[in-house]
Every structure is written in C-alpha cells, then in structure tokens.
Structure 1
Amino acid sequence: MRLRCLYGAPRLRKHERPLDELVLTVLSQNTSDRNRDLAYARLRERFSDWRAVREAPVEEVEDAIRCGGLAPTKARRIKAILERLGDDDLRWLADAPLQRAREFLCELPGIGRKTAACVLLFAFGRPEVPIDTHVHRVATRLGLLPQRVGLEEAHDLALRYTADFDPYEFHVLLIRHGRRLCAARRPACERCPVADLCPSSRALAPARGR
C-alpha cells in the first residue's frame, strides 16, 4: 500500500478500557486532539473514577472539561451516558456480537456510529472504521466511498474494506493523508503517491495545467 510506504504502518495497541474511550471520544467532538486530551486529563484529575463523575453536579464536570470547548453540552452528555450505564464498564462489548455491540453504543445519549466505532476499534481491536472528516474526504476522493455519501452510511460501506485491510491502519493512514496532503481546499495532488489512482486528482488535472 503506497500510503503505508509514505506514512509508515501504524499498529493498534488495544487498551480494553471502553468507558475511557467512550468519554474521550465525546470530549473530542468539535475540538483539537490537544484540547481533547487536556480536558480528559483534567477530568480524571478532578474525579477519582467514573462513578464520581456520574454522581457529581453537572457544573463540576463542566468546569473540569472547560478547556476542551462546548463544555456545557459535553458535560451533560457524559453525565447522561454514565447515568444510563450505571456500573456497567462495557467490557462485555469485547465478546458481544458486533452488530449488537454497535447498536447498544448507538442507543446511548448523543452517541453515533463514529463514537461507537472508536470504542470498538480502539478499545478491543474489533473490525470497525471510524469515519471522521479526513477519512470521509480522502475515501470519497479516491473512489472508496460514493460521492456525497453521508457519514452514517459511510460507516456501513467502509466495513467492506475490513476483509482486505487492517481497519486501524486503513483509518489512520487516511487521516494522515488528509491532514498532510489531501487537504480540503488545496490538495497537494502533485506530491500524492496515489494521484494516478484518484478520480478526483484526474478531474482536477486540466485545471492545474492552465
């Protein structure tokens, strides 16, 4: 795979802490990785465990994660999730039928397919492909996903690639490519190792040649 040669082969270290991953992914919404990690670290410093977060006033949770942005919304969402789960640590998701595990997560307050995919892939190494804006953009440009496909449907369609590609590697390499070369506004097609395979690059070639 050419992207692997360019960016290296990422390797997943599944951590088997699904509740941690779930909260971390909620904190990642509409913010940078740095702010997400800082908000998560401050949340864990403030509270001894997830039960303490569940039982704390929402204002205290909000104050702890303020640096991550959208703190009022995220605090309420995290509290609602933890209250729904009670003492369930979600470790049973490792062995549950994949469809059931996915459906259970998506039934939690404010949780969609991307977050569910993150939990199942990063915590347990289960065959899911989280579709963020970078993965969606690069995959559609390369013709791996249909043009104008929605994010929810894209998750279902991306599953077909897990039979031939490691899902974690597929996810990470498309993110790296989207961040470094295949930008939203000005993709660096002239430096792209897969430009000859990319329908979008071929379509843009005449305009670049002017």
Structure 2
Amino acid sequence: MTDPEPTKNISGGESGGGSEARFDPATAGTRAEAVVDRLGELYWTKTYGGQDAFECLVRTILSQNTSDTASQPAHDALMERYGPGDGAGDVDTDLVDALADADQQTLAETIQPAGLYNQKSARIVALADEIREEFGGEAGFDAFVRDDDPDAVRDRLLEMNGVGPKTADCVLLFAGGRGGVFPVDTHVHRIARRMGLAPPDADHETVREYIERDVPAEKCGFGHTAMIQFGREYCKARKPACLDDPEACPLADRCDQVGVYPASGEVVDPSDAA
C-alpha cells in the first residue's frame, strides 16, 4: 500500500524534521516490540518532533472527545483567524498572545466543528494566558518542552487544566521529539489489552507503562501512530477484522484475542472478558 505519511514527519511536515527510522524486525526483544515492528512494516516508521509546542497543545485539546475529521477543520479555522499573518496580526504574531487575548465567544464559534466548543475555547484561552505568564510566549514554551527534563515537562503539563496524560504525551512526542513516549488513546488502550500486551483491566496509564517498558524508545513514536491506524482499519472496537476471518488481520499471530470470540461473534471490552 502507499505510505500515507509524508517523507518527513506528520507532526511538523518537512520543516518539522524527523526521518525514517530503520530497524531489523528479527531483533525484537519483546512481543510488544515485535508488534510495533510489524506495524512499522505495514504502515510507516517515521520519527517525530518539531511541531510548535503550543499549537500542538491546542490541536490535541481540539481533538479531545471527537474525531480527526471534526477537529482538523476546527484547527484550520483557528489558525486562519489567530495564526501568524492572518486575522490576528502580522507574520510575527505570537499564537499564545493571540489566544490569550481572544474573545472566548468568537473563539468558540471558530472551533465549533470540534464539539464541546464552549468548554474547549475557555480552556484554550486560560492555557494561553497561563503559558504567556510563565513562559513569555510560544518561544519560551517551545524551549521548555524540547529542552527540559521530560518527566518535569510532563508533570508541569499535567498540572494545566484540561491536560491529561495523552495530551501531555502528544506534546512531548510531536513537539518535543522525545523518544520513549507512547501516548495512549482509545485505540492503543483497546489494542494493547486485546492483544495481551498489557493486563485486560489496565487503565490508560498502566498500558502506557507496559508499552514504554517493552518497546525501545526510538520505536514508540511510529508505534503510537501506526497502532492508531491499525485500530481504524483492522482492530476496531465493535467488529475487529479477525471476528469473521482470522486471516484477515496482519497481526493475528501476535494477538491473544482477549474479549473477542469468533465462534459466537461476541466482542467485549478486554476487562470484561472471561
């Protein structure tokens, strides 16, 4: 299949840096690493980093509790209104300043496609104000995310209202380019437990701990994005590919099928599996 990712990196495009990661699947030391290697062969093995940290934070907040098809138009509309060289000012406009000073109702109308727009607009304005006060703007926040101790960065992000573990990890990965960060969304949470890479009753943080323990740092980035794509195409929540045809899934030989019962056609959350 054609690799849908660009030659460089999806988080920042060609200007964002990043390159193809190379590895030998035969050297996988854990089952989780072997799964990630297979996903890399199936999709892509790109490294990440280089996206503007605050824009990445805003983009991830817009994506909360909605789909990419809904959050992307909201992000594009936000950047058109408040981004550099557009409605907010000249090419030197700082996005942090623009959003810290934004009228919340106008921002809410701008990001309406993302859903929960009143809540998200209030959150974005408050975060922009907080980041401006503490870091001085985009450049200072970028430097903090990219250069400070990653654990300290994660802890500080988690202190911000509306920033959960997945959002913090996405900022560390896509903006900071930090190795060893494997954000856990609903797809990763489901797949890791269904395949037996983490305990069936593991919460999102426990899944992250298991995967980051068992997958080399340089493979966590593409492992995260490729696993999400795998969840969209094959390991769906209600009807995984293996339900009707065990050979339809390219990872069937690596999966424990926890909560998936082809004989009866039943699919339950791994935590509810017998």
Normalised to the residue count of structure 1, the TM-score between the two structures is 0.90
Shift of 1:201: 6.4
More helix by share: 1
Farther-moved stretch of structure 1 (177-186 vs 80-89): 80-89
Find the counterpart in structure 2 of residue 67 from structure 1. Answer: 113
Please give the root-mean-square deviation of Cα atoms over the aligned residues, in Å. Answer: 2.0
1:27-176 equivalent positions in 2, closer than 5 A: 27-47=62-82, 48=88, 49-86=95-132, 87-89=136-138, 90-91=141-142, 92-126=144-178, 127-163=180-216, 166-176=219-229
Q: Describe the superposition over 1:57-100 as per-residue Cα deviations: whole angstroms up to 9, x where unpaired.
A: 21111111112111001001101111111124322221211110
- Contact between 1:134 and 1:175, CA under 8 Å: does it hold in 2? yes
Q: How many residues align?
A: 207
Shift of 1:164: 6.2
- Contact between 2:53 and 2:175, CA under 8 Å: does it hold in 1? yes
Structure with more contact order per residue of length (Cα contacts < 8 Å, sep ≥ 6): 1
Shift of 1:129: 0.8
Q: Distance in 1 between matches of 2:217 and 2:79?
A: 38
Farther-moved stretch of structure 1 (32-41 vs 194-203): 194-203
Shift of 1:42: 1.0
The percentage of aligned residue pairs carrying the same residue is 34
Shift of 1:163: 2.3
Find the counterpart in structure 1 of residue 39 from structure 2. Answer: 3
Moved over 4 A (4+): none
Q: Distance in 1 between matches of 2:113 and 2:226?
A: 28
Structure 1: runs of 5+ lacking an equivalent: none
Q: Per the alignment, do residues 164 and 123 of structure 1 end up closer, same or farther by CA in structure 2, a change over 3 Å counting? A: closer
- Contact between 1:195 and 1:201, CA under 8 Å: does it hold in 2? no
Normalised to the residue count of structure 2, the TM-score between the two structures is 0.70
- Contact between 2:194 and 2:257, CA under 8 Å: does it hold in 1? yes
Find the counterpart in structure 1 of residue 49 from structure 2. Answer: 14
Find the counterpart in structure 2 of residue 193 from structure 1. Answer: 250
Amino acid at match of 2:237: A
Farther-moved stretch of structure 1 (15-24 vs 197-206): 197-206
Q: Per the alignment, do residues 18 and 164 of structure 1 end up closer, same or farther by CA in structure 2, a change over 3 Å counting? A: closer
Q: Describe the superposition over 1:163-208 as per-residue Cα deviations: whole angstroms up to 9, x where unpaired.
A: 2661112102211111111111111112112212211169635446
